[in-house]
Chains A and B, each alone.
Chain A
Amino acid sequence: MKFKDAEHLLRMAFLFVAGLIVFVLLRNALVPRSFGQYGHYRGDALGEIKARPVAYAGHGTCETCHSDVLEVKDKGKHTHVACESCHGPLAKHADDPTAVQPEKLDTRVLCVRCHEANSAKPKSFPQVVSADHSAGLACNECHKPHTPVIEAEAKATGGKKK
């Protein structure tokens, strides 16, 4: 076999090698430096996420100023539901309460997020079919958001049975 007869094969091989080199170079240029530092992700991402402004203040922070609400809430069934799971992220408000006012909540949207009936939820969790249960009324027309269980006297006066 003469070299001449294999020349085209070598050219093709050269193309493949060139492709491979381009790939390796591209990979070097494109893969972020810190990739794989800790695992299959960019190590720097941790720092970047840490540097992001805090959005949620946390239950303990609300407590320092709104202990009255907390006292009320702790008596009701929502005692284990954190303030910000209903009021949304309020770190900015906690830093400067007068400048940043929390938005008013629409209970028609808020409460069904957790309480709309769904067969996948555990049976023990309180659920309602909102269309039947409230017929478009806002939930806080009858329920107090912080102490949601309606007491017997309220039941007698206004609340219809579910």
Chain B
Amino acid sequence: MPTFEGFMYPNEIELQWSVLIVLYPFLTGLVAGAFILASLERVFRVEAVKPTYRLALLTALAFLLVAPLPLQLHLGHPERSLEMYLTPHRSSAMAMFGFVYLWYLMAVLVLEIWLDYRRDIVMLAQSSTGWRRLLYRVLTLGSYNISEAALDLDNRVGWIITVIGIPSAFLLHGYVGFIFGSIKANPWWSTPLMPVVFLFSAMVSGIAAVMLIYMVVSRIRRTPIDMRCVDAVAKYLFYTFIIDFTLEMLDLIHRIYESDESFRSLDFMVHTRLFLSQVILQILLGTVTPILLLAVTQVFKLSEAVRKRIYSLAGSLTLIGILAMRWNVVIGGQLFSKSFLGYTTYKMGLWAREGLATAIVLMLLPIFILWVLVKILPPWPEKEKGLLSHAASAGD
């Protein structure tokens, strides 16, 4: 039995939403953020970030595939989750998740990736052998037409899908924020700012993740990092981060100024049980530090090596900060009593179904899926492709 102090209602003593429910908004946030970065390139034609375009799409797909798993593991009867498709309940935001998810997965991500890769898929279907050949053949859907006109059409349709995709990505993650923001019984969650804050923190985490993944992948492949690209991505990270931070501060100041009946209780919580994860990890280490680091790169002219280091450090801190933010929202929102007179603690199991080990596996799984996706659909830019497909066919 978890320890608690003061007055808790019996149903508040034990937390219902575990570390897996912390992961869920973190994962969908990465999806939405990565996708929005990719869309920037496509819709606004930002040439500089092009090297990350496909990588960002694949990252989004890899994380999206894992995103429902923490929810499934949280359910007592995971098989019943499918019933939200069969008998949808329109008055429940949570019950609509299936459709938001499916729409984003199939109508946006899979389609966009397919259209973008079609030329490669057709070429790989002709050059590869064995099971790979079979796979690529299936992916071509039996159409090998990669004429100028066909590709041009793909490009235009892809553009439309991206344009639809941006609001869809906003919907996907805004929805996650909405779930929390609309719980009117919980003053820690209930604010209409929640979806917006979630959205911007999602973009921040997604951009940081793609930047890091791009740098790590370049390192593994021993190819030089395109600094023009990383600089541009870091600049976006900086700007979105400032908006995100402003929004979070707005929320905070608003709460402090309003000082409603929940304030003393929440304030106490932030100064005690959430001090480490909120003040230290989320705000100081995970937000202020990376913003300052990125500001330094914007103001001073630094050498490439130094910038790379700063970007890696800022990116990693950002991810830690956003994860801490999800933690503080999900876990923090359950630590205090609705009576505002008591506080409980969250004890995370290690090997439990919703424990730490599961959480770590769920964090590593998308990386593994990404690795497989990158093997199947290499995201490298045009000029290296000849080399690569050559190497692939020679290697296998």
Where the two chains meet, the residues of A that have a C-beta atom closer than 8 Å to any C-beta of B are 1-2, 4-9, 11-12, 15-16, 19, 23, 26-27, 30-31, 35-36, 40, 118-120
A5 in contact with B145 given A31-B86, A35-B87, A40-B87 (CB within 8 Å): yes
- The CA-CA distance from A4 to B87 in the complex, in Å, is 40
Residues of B within 8 A of A19 (CB): 106
How many Å from the CB of A3 to the closest CB on chain B? 11
**Inter-chain contact B86/A118, CB cutoff 8 Å:** no
**Inter-chain contact B143/A8, CB cutoff 8 Å:** yes
Residues of A within 8 A of B141 (CB): 8, 11-12, 15
**Inter-chain contact A5/B157, CB cutoff 8 Å:** no
- Nearest residue, chain A, Cβ from B7: A119
Cβ-neighbour of B89 out of A5, A26, A40, A120 (below 8 A): A40
- Nearest residue, chain B, Cβ from A26: B86
Interface centre among A4, A7, A8, A30 (most CB of B within 10 A): A8
Residues of B within 8 A of A16 (CB): 106
**Inter-chain contact A23/B145, CB cutoff 8 Å:** no
- The CA-CA distance from A35 to B89 in the complex, in Å, is 12
* B245 interface hit (Cβ, 8 Å): no
- Nearest residue, chain B, Cβ from A15: B141
- Nearest residue, chain B, Cβ from A28: B86
Q: How many residues of B contact A (CB 8 A)?
A: 23
How many Å from the CB of B235 to the closest CB on chain A? 36
**Inter-chain contact B111/A12, CB cutoff 8 Å:** yes
- The CA-CA distance from A4 to B150 in the complex, in Å, is 8
**Inter-chain contact B157/A27, CB cutoff 8 Å:** no
**Inter-chain contact A1/B153, CB cutoff 8 Å:** yes
Residues of B within 8 A of A9 (CB): 153-154, 157
**Inter-chain contact A6/B153, CB cutoff 8 Å:** yes
- The CA-CA distance from A12 to B150 in the complex, in Å, is 14
| Beyond A6-B150, A118-B10, 11 extra complex contacts between A and B, CB < 8 Å | A1-B153, A2-B149, A7-B143, A8-B118, A8-B143, A11-B142, A12-B141, A36-B87, A40-B87, A120-B7, A120-B8
Cβ-neighbour of A8 out of B8, B85, B87, B145 (below 8 A): B145
**Inter-chain contact A27/B86, CB cutoff 8 Å:** yes
- The CA-CA distance from A36 to B87 in the complex, in Å, is 9
- Nearest residue, chain A, Cβ from B10: A120
* B147 interface hit (Cβ, 8 Å): yes
